[in-house]
Amino acid sequence: MPYMLISTQIRLETGPTNVGDEYSDPAVMNYLGARKTTMLGNNFSEYHVDDPPRLVLDKLEKIGFRVMTMTGVGQTLVWCLHKEGE
């Protein structure tokens, strides 16, 4: 999967960071040390890490991901990353 979204709440810049959904690459999620959770009332799962977004971005850069864009949506910060095909 060449694209990835990570996000955090504005007041939580120190973590946790949302790093994926139930369809995310398990190898990347394992590398990040992410845990898969399902919030009560949701019918989907998400992966989270306790690290702040900056550390997550540093880790993802080491395995070839590059930030394409970043934006704020309400109280959420979102980064879109891309990894070139091999």
Walk me through the domains of the chain, giving residue ranges and CATH numbers. 3-83 (3.30.1410.10)
SS3 content of the chain, % helix, strand, coil (to 5): 25, 40, 35
Largest CA distance in the chain: 39
pLDDT in tens, 27-80: 999 999 999 998 888 888 999 999 999 999 999 999 999 999 999 989 999 999
pLDDT the model gives residue 86: 65
pLDDT the model gives residue 1: 60
Q: Compute the distance between CA of residue 44 and CA of residue 19 in angstroms, rounded to an integer.
A: 14
Q: Compute the distance between CA of residue 37 and CA of residue 35 in angstroms, rounded to an integer.
A: 6
Residues ≥6 apart with Cβ < 8 Å to 4 = 19, 20, 24, 28, 60, 65, 80, 81, 82, 83
